[in-house]
Amino acid sequence: MKQVHVVPHMHWDREWYFSTEESRILLVNNMEEIMDRLETDPEYPYYVLDGQTSILEDYFAVKPDAKERVKKLVQAGKLIIGPWYTQTDEMVVGSESIVRNLLYGIKDSKAFGQPMMIGYLPDSFGQSAQIPHILNGFDIKYTIFWRGTSERHGTDKTEFYWETADGSRVLVQLLPLGYAIGKYLPQEEEALKQRMEKYFPVLDRGTTTDHLVLPNGHDQMPIQKDIFEVIGKLRQLYPDREFFLSKYENIFAEIEKQNDLTTLKGEFLDGKYMRVHRSIYSTRMDIKSANTRVENKITNVLEPLASMAYDLGFEYHHGLIELIWKEIMKNHAHDSIGCCCSDKVHREIAGRLFLAEEKTDQLIEFYKRQIVDAMETDETADRLTLFNFLPYKREEVVMTEVITKYKGFSLVDENGKAVDYEILHREEIDPGLIDRQIVHYGNYDPFIKYKVQLKKTLPPMGYTTFFVKEEEKKRMEDKRSDQVDTDYYRVTVNDNGTLKIYDKQLGKSFDQVLLLENGGDDGDEYDFSPLEGEALIFSNNVEANVSIEQNQYAGKIEVCCSMPVPANLEERKAGRINSEVNVHFTIRISNHKPLIEVTCELDNKAKDHRLRAYIPTGLSSSFSIADNQFGHIQRGVIDSAMGVWQEEKWSERPDAIYPLLSYVGVSNDNYGVSVLSNSTREYEIVGDSYDTIALTLFRSVGHLGKADMLRRPGRPSGIKLPTPDSQMLGKLTLEFALFPHQGSTLDVNTAKAAKDYLTPVETYNKIPHNAMKLNPTSVKTPVSYQLLEEMESEAVLSTLKKAEEEESLILRVFNGKDEEVEACYRIDNGAREVWQANLNEDKQEEWKEDRGFIKFPIKVNQSQSFLIKK
C-alpha cells in the first residue's frame, strides 16, 4: 500500500512583491495559530517552519516572551526549525555566505533544540553542484529541492544520491511538483479528487519507494485547521493508500532502505519541468554587484584583518561581524537576491546592503586604526601602513592617500630606508574635515591630501609600515602617452573606445576588447527576452574620448563614450535611436602584473534593454569554465536541449546564459582568456565560433512578471506588477578584470588569480588628528608583522576568521584546479593546537606533527578547514 506523508509546513518568503513588515504581521498571526494547535492537539504531531531561523528572529522581535513556548515545542520534536538562517539562493551567492547561512542557522536553532538536519531548499532557482560538499561539512546527509532537474541528468526518479567531485554525497528527495501541491486542500470530494488526480500519476511515476510526499503548505499560508477532515476524505477516495501527518525525516528513513538508487553529479539548471530563470543573474545589477562587493569585503578583508587584530591581542568582534552577515543573508533568499520583487522591496534590499557595507567599512577602518595606533616605536612621525590579506608575499602597485601639512614628504621604512613613490594628485582640504576641534581653537591652516602610487613587496598575511617625514616638495610628472606598454602587454585604444591588446607572453593580439552590445529586453525581472528578429546595436562607430597615462609603476587608460540606443521598446520596434547610455571605462594595468583591471561607470538613460561587454578570446570554444562554491563547473557553450525545447515543452528556453562567482574563462591547452569579476555574475559565450565572452553589464526591465515571453511561453512568473526602478535609469559602477594567460583556465589556477584580484591591499595613514577619539590600549603591536605564510601551494584561501566558540583561528582553503593539490602553511611562532575541522567548526582530527607547519592534500572541488590555537 502506498504511504502518503502529509507534511504540514509554511513556506515563508520574508519579502517578495510584499514587504518584510507586511509579512511580519501575518507571521505573528500564523505563529500563534501553529503553536496553539501543537500545544493543544496531541494528534497533530509536527509542523515544519520552512527550514530557516530568520522566521523566528522576525517573530521574536514582536513577541520576545514567546521564546519559551517555541523552545518547549522544538524540544518536544513538534515544531521543526532550521538548519538555515534564510533559504539561500545557490547560483549568485558566494561560498562563505552559504557556509555562514548554515553556521548561524544551526547556532540559532540549537538555542531552542535540535535543528532539522536536512538541506531544505524547496524553491531556489537551480542547484549548485557544490551543495553536497557544503551540507556534508555540517554533517547533513539529506536535501530536498524542486527546481532544475530533468531526466537528462541520469534519472527520472525523485529519489537519488547527489555527489560532488571530492566524494561528498547527500540523499535527495525531489519535490517534482513543488512544495505547494498540498496547499489549501479542499474537503469537497470532487475538488479534492480533481487535485489528486493531477498529482498522483507524477508522484507514482517518479518514486522509488511506496512513500510519497504531499507537502501541506504554501507561501505565507496559515495552518490548515481542517487537515484531519481532509485526510478522512482522502482515505475514502483512495482506500489503497494510507494518509497521515508526517515529517521529512520519516521520508528519508524509508528512502535509505533502498539500495539501488542512482548517483548523480553536477548542477541542476534545467528549466524543463519547472522554471530556473537562467537570466535572472543580471536583474537589478546595482543590487547584484553591491552584494558581490560586500561579500568580498567581508571574507577577503574584514575577517582576515580581524584575525590579525585578534592574534595581536585585540578583541575579535563576533557580534558585529554576525550582524553584518545576517544583514546580507536576509538578501540571499531566491526572490531577494534574484531581484524579482516589487520596487519597495528592492529599496529595502538595497538599504540592507548599504548598511552592511557601511558596517564593514567602518569595522575595517577601526581595526586598522587599533593596530597602527598601538605600534611600539620611538618614531613620532605620521605612519602609512600597508596590509596584505593574502597568505603569501605579494609585490603590488598600491594607490593610496597621505594627508599631511607638509609641502613635501618622504616615506621611510622601519630601517630608515626611503621608498620611491609618485604623486598622482594633490589638493588642499579644510582642517575641519579632519577634526572640527582643530578649527574650534582657531587653527585654519589647510591640510594637503596627496594621492600617491608606489610599488612594494608585502609580507604574507601581515603588514608593513612607513613613516612620513617632511622633505622638499616633489614634482608631479607629466605621464601622458599614446599607449600603455608593460612587462606583459602593449595596449592601444581604437577610435570607438575598444582596446587593442598585444600579449607579449602569448605573442597574440586581441582586438575590439570591451565592444558593447545592446539589444531590446521585452522580459521581466525573472528573464531576459529579446525582440524577435531585431538587429543588435554595437559600439562599432561611437566616437570615444581617450586619455592614456603611464608612469614607472602602471598605466591608466580612460575611455568615455556615449552609445546611442532607442529610448524604449516602442522606439526600438520603430527603428528610432533617440536615447543613450554614457560609458566611462577606467583601465589600470600594473607594469609587472598580467592583469588588466577595468572600472565601468555607466549612466543609463533608456528603458527595456540589455547591455553587455565583449571580451574576444581568439578561441573557438565548446565549453566554458566558471567558478562555483569552493570549486569550478564546466558548461557547454550551447545547451544540448536548444533544438528540442519547444517539442519537449520545456518551461523555458535553455539558453547558455550562466552565473559565475568570481571568474569565467575559455581556453585550450596553450592559452586562455578569463574575466574576473567584483560585480556582475552573469556571462554567455557568443560569436559565430563561440570565441567571445559576453559579460552582462545590466538589464533594464519594467515589470516583475510577464506572460507569453519569446523564450518563456505561458503564464507569468511571479505577478504582473510594474517595477519602474528595475529600468536601471541612472548611474551604475561595475568592476572586473581581464586575465589572458598561458595554459588552460584550470592549469593556470584562475581561482587563485581571482582571489588576488579581489583581495586589495588596504592602507592606513595615521596622523595626530581624528574626529573620533580613542583612548590608548595596553596592547602593543610591531611596526611590521605576519600571521602565517603559504608555502608553494596551489590551494586558494577562502577566509581566515576566529572560531565561533573556540579561542582559535579558522583557516579555510579550497582547490580550484582539476587535480588534487597540496596545501602547505607555516604558522608564525607556531601553534599550541591544530585540528582539522568541518564547516561547522567542530574538531575532527588533531594535527599531531609540527604545529608550526601544516601540510595536507585537497581533492578537486574540495575545501579544508583547520582550527589553529596559538
Tell me which residues are annotated as active site.
Answer: 123
Phi first, then psi: give them for residue 165, nearest 5 degrees: -65, -25
C-alpha to C-alpha distance for 571 and 574, rounded to whole angstroms: 5
The sign one gets for the Cα dihedral 542, 547, 550, 554 is negative
Q: How many CB atoms lie within 10 A of CB 536?
A: 12
C-alpha to C-alpha distance for 58 and 49, rounded to whole angstroms: 13
Q: How many CB atoms lie within 10 A of CB 480?
A: 9
CB 661 within 8 Å of CB 736: no
DSSP class of residue 860 equals T
C-alpha to C-alpha distance for 505 and 483, rounded to whole angstroms: 18
Q: Cα angle vertex 581, ends 575, 587, to 5°? A: 135
Helices assigned H by DSSP within 95-226: 95-110, 131-136, 189-206
Side chain identity, residue 452? V
Candidates 680, 689, 636, 639; CA nearest to 659 is 680
C-alpha to C-alpha distance for 69 and 528, rounded to whole angstroms: 46
Candidates 397, 859, 445, 429; CA nearest to 630 is 859
Asked whether the bond before 782 is cis by omega within 30 degrees of 0, the reply is no
C-alpha to C-alpha distance for 128 and 330, rounded to whole angstroms: 20
CB 810 within 8 Å of CB 837: yes
- Cell 582643530 -> residue: 438
Q: How many CB atoms lie within 10 A of CB 419?
A: 14
What is residue 394's three-state secondary structure?
A: strand
C-alpha to C-alpha distance for 576 and 569, rounded to whole angstroms: 10
CA dihedral 95, 99, 101, 103 (to 10 degrees): -170
- Cell 522581535 -> residue: 61
Give the bridge partners for 453, in sequence order.
Answer: 399, 422
Asked whether the bond before 431 is cis by omega within 30 degrees of 0, the reply is no
Per-residue buried b or exposed e for 559-579, using 16+ beta carbons within 10 Å of the residue's own CB: bbbbbebbbbbebbeeeeeeb
DSSP class of residue 300 equals I
C-alpha to C-alpha distance for 860 and 167, rounded to whole angstroms: 10
C-alpha to C-alpha distance for 716 and 425, rounded to whole angstroms: 53
